[in-house]
């Protein structure tokens, strides 16, 4: 019975946010198409736009889905249902993750497919692409976690600003690792240890963010 | 099976600017309890602790036999909660909310829900953002009433409603009593509503319970005595008198433990008792709060 | 508040809506019908039983007492209450009993006149 309540809450969140989801998929796809079919500068612009749309999605979705529940005072309605605060967090985490992952995966897979089918971009870039694409995912997890635990727009804004302004710095750091940049213009994707370690660290950071979130959520004594 | 709808024992909850202290409260199944208090007295906090939305600092809370907040999920299957500051989803219709509830709760009574739509005068296909305040309150009530829960916990269900809407709501709340074993806890600062439909009355002020007992007994204990005090006679202080107001030779004494001997006691001292009147719950509420605050400050 | 309920029930018996010996709604049912608390109706029934107006049988519900002429008797009680109240006010006014009887007769005449006009 309980798992179905969590399921219903997830469906509810999807239903409430479907406009936002479709918009972000649409915008991202347009960016990708431009990046593939235009030349030179347009391609660069398209790539950047592709990445930016991912980042914006990552910040807006948590705000919409998570904080609105508190702001618009519908949290009391949800908590009157047979769910605990931990179950609520699970439902919110799953629904917002799914909402982010669908467009994110769509964009990532489309990018990989385009690279495969259109030989304009070398396969060597694929590991780096993956590493870069993980960054908005980590940012999304972090911002969502802070929205859930911090409960306020102030915290959310601080987290968004921090993440969105850190991308350039992280890119800079990554670009300075020679084994990552060495092969990216080559015809073959090279999975060297450096790339694998970075990817593992990214996945690890997501896992710890999730763990810490649940820890704090379960200890809250004034849920509303 | 437990015969109490809920029981709070020694419950305390401290906030920065407000403390709920040593709350003892219980309601037998099948009855309605009205919780009265001024704004900020602690009605909403007590209800939140009851629902497990807020963890108490100390004391035990049991609702329908379940310990709260540990067993809140099990309890909430049988509790219908609606509060004044609760909102439904603006961009969705009432019908969407009804289908949402129906998908979660197996004992959703669809025909009763339709009947309530008619009685409350609500349009199911309308989005919540188009609802007026009164319609919103009735919509939230519809969503909990149609589930036919064992316990209804309502935070100010008639506040801000016009007289017709109030009547519609009170009709449904008393209608709940047709089924034995179902209980209601509602908070209000509308003493008329509480007086009309409550079996048990609880007064709360500044985080403490002042009184909690069955309504008719309570109303029987309070009396207003209109007195005529001849010149040269002092009004004696008598047990059971909680307040006296003088206007020249006339006086009004308020008692919270009236027995006929009280009137006799006055007459013995030469004071004439013009009349003994019962008091409305509103008058009792005001007198009680004033008396209680005096006692606390003394 | 239970007092009002008692009066309502007595009225129904007096006008003949509820006859002697006739079953009346259960406490719970009447509470729902009148939209008042169960405890109020319970107290009203208790007091009415003490006065001998209704009878409650455990498990069988309640009914109007099977006293022939109960309706008329309740009317008599109502009259007594009004008369006593009139006497009390007359005493406060310092009115002698003879004058009170005259006033009652005058009032009776006035009521008869008004009734004639209505027909």
State how far Cα B124 lies from the chain centre: 30
pTM of the model: 0.86
Of A157-161, B85-89, B154-158, B169-173, give the lowest mean pLDDT range.
A157-161
- Does the structural domain B4-212 have CATH classification 3.40.640.10? no
Is-contact C26 C62, C-beta < 8 A? yes
Is-contact C68 C30, C-beta < 8 A? no
- Domain chopping of chain B, boundaries: 4-212, 223-278
Residue A6 lies in a domain: yes
* Alpha-carbon torsion, ordered A32, A34, A35, A39, to 10 deg: 170
Chain B residues touching C35 at Cβ < 8 A: 170-171, 174, 196-197
Does A163 have pLDDT greater than 80?
A: yes
- Per residue in C32-57, pLDDT tens? 999 999 999 999 999 999 998 999 88
Does A24 have pLDDT greater than 60?
A: yes
Residue B198 near chain C (CB below 8 Å): yes
Is-contact B193 B184, C-beta < 8 A? no
Most confidently modeled range among A62-76, A103-117, B36-50? B36-50
- Per residue in A91-104, pLDDT tens? 988 888 877 887 77
Does A152 have pLDDT greater than 80?
A: yes
- Per residue in B144-194, pLDDT tens? 999 999 999 999 999 989 999 999 999 999 999 999 899 999 999 889 999
Contacts 24+ apart (CB under 8 A), A48-54: A50/A107, A50/A111, A51/A132, A51/A136, A53/A24, A53/A27, A53/A28, A53/A107, A54/A28, A54/A103, A54/A104, A54/A107, A54/A133, A54/A136
Chain B residues touching C32 at Cβ < 8 A: 174-175, 177-178
CA distance C65 to A167: 88
- What ipTM goes with this model? 0.88
Q: Return the exposure string of C47-84: e unless at least 16 CB atoms fall within 10 Å of the residue's CB, then b.
A: ebeeeebbbbeeeeebbbbeeeebbebbeeeeeeeeee
Residue A48 lies in a domain: yes
Residue A224 lies in a domain: no
Residue A148 lies in a domain: yes
Residue A67 lies in a domain: yes
Instruction: List all chains that touch chain C, counting a touch as 3 or more CB pairs closer than 8 Å.
Output: B
The residue of chain C with its CA nearest to that of B219 is: C1
| Domain B223-278, CATH number (from 3.30.70, 1.10.287, 3.30.310, 1.20.272) | 3.30.70
Q: What is the mean pLDDT of residues A134-142?
A: 87
Considering its fold, how many domains does chain A have in total?
A: 1
Q: What is the pLDDT of residue A43?
A: 65
Q: What percent of chain A is predicted at pLDDT more than 70? A: 84
Does A49 have pLDDT greater than 90?
A: no
Residue A57 lies in a domain: yes
Quote the domain boundaries for residue A41.
2-218
Residue A77 lies in a domain: yes
Comparison of pLDDT for C112 and A43, the residue scoring more: C112
In chain B, alpha helices (H): 43-51, 72-76, 94-104, 110-120, 133-145, 163-176, 191-197, 215-221, 260-268, 281-297
Residue A223 lies in a domain: no
Of B4-8, B67-71, B105-109, B246-250, give the lowest mean pLDDT range.
B246-250
Is-contact B191 B159, C-beta < 8 A? no
Most confidently modeled range among A128-142, A143-157, B214-228? B214-228
Does B127 have pLDDT greater than 80?
A: yes
Chain B residues touching C39 at Cβ < 8 A: 31, 199-200, 214-216
Does C16 have pLDDT greater than 90?
A: no
């Amino acid at each position: 019975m309980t798992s179905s309540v969590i399921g219903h809450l997830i469906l509810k969140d999807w239903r409430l946010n479907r406009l936002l989801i479709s918009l972000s998929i649409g915008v991202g796809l347009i960016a990708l198409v431009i990046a593939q079919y235009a030349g030179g500068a347009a391609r660069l612009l398209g790539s950047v736009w592709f990445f930016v749309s991912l980042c914006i999605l990552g910040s807006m979705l948590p705000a919409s889905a998570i904080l609105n529940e508190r702001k618009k005072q519908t949290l009391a309605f949800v908590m009157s249902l047979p769910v605990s605060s931990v179950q609520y967090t699970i439902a919110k985490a799953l629904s917002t993750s799914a909402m982010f992952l669908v467009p994110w995966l769509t964009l990532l897979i489309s990018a990989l497919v385009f690279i495969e089918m259109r030989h304009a971009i070398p396969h060597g870039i694929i590991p780096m692409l993956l590493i870069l694409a993980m960054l908005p995912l980590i940012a999304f997890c972090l911002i969502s976690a802070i929205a859930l635990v911090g409960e306020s727009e102030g915290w959310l804004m601080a987290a968004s600003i921090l993440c969105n302004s850190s991308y350039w710095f992280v890119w800079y750091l990554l670009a300075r690792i020679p084994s990552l940049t060495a092969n990216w213009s080559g015809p073959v994707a090279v999975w060297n240890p450096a790339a694998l370690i970075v990817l593992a660290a990214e996945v690890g950071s997501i896992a710890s963010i999730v763990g810490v979130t649940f820890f704090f959520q379960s200890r809250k004594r004034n849920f509303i | 099976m437990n015969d109490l709808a809920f029981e709070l024992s020694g419950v305390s909850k401290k906030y920065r600017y407000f403390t709920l202290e040593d709350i003892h409260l219980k309601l037998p199944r099948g009855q309605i309890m009205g919780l009265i208090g001024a704004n900020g007295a602690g009605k909403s906090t007590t209800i939140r602790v009851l629902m497990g939305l807020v963890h108490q600092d100390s004391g035990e809370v049991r609702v329908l036999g379940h310990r709260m907040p540990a067993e809140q999920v099990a309890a909430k299957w049988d509790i219908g909660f609606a509060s004044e500051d609760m909102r439904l989803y603006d961009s969705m219709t009432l019908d969407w909310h009804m289908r949402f509830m129906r998908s979660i709760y197996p004992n959703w009574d669809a025909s009763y829900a339709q009947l309530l739509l008619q009685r409350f005068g609500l349009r199911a296909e309308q989005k919540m953002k188009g609802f007026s305040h009164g319609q919103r309150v009735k919509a939230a009530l519809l969503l909990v009433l149609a589930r036919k829960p064992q316990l209804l916990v309502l935070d100010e269900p008639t506040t801000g409603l016009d007289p017709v809407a109030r009547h519609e709501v009170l009709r449904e709340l008393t209608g709940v009593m047709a089924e034995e074993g179902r209980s209601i806890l509602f908070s209000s600062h509308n003493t008329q509503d509480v007086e009309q439909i409550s079996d048990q009355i609880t007064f709360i002020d500044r985080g403490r319970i002042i009184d909690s007992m069955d309504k008719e007994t309570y109303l029987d204990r309070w009396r207003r005595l209109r007195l005529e005090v001849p010149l040269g006679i002092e009004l004696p202080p008598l047990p059971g008198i909680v307040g006296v107001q003088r206007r020249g030779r006339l006086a009004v004494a308020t008692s919270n433990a009236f027995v006929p001997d009280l009137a006799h006691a006055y007459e013995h001292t030469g004071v004439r008792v013009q009349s003994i009147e019962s008091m409305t719950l509103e008058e009792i509420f005001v007198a009680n709060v004033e008396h209680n605050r005096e006692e606390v400050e003394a | 508040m239970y007092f009002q309920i008692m009066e309502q029930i007595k009225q129904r018996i007096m006008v003949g809506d509820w006859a002697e010996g006739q079953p009346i709604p259960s406490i719970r049912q009447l509470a729902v019908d009148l939209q008042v608390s169960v405890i109020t109706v319970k107290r009203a029934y208790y007091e009415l039983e003490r006065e001998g107006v209704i009878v409650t049988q455990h498990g069988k519900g309640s009914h109007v007492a099977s006293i022939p002429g109960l309706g008329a008797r309740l009317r008599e009680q109502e009259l007594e209450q009004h008369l006593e109240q009139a006497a009390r006010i007359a005493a406060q006014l310092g009115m002698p009993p003879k004058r009170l009887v005259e006033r009652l007769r005058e009032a009776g005449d006035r009521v008869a006149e008004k009734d004639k006009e209505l027909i």
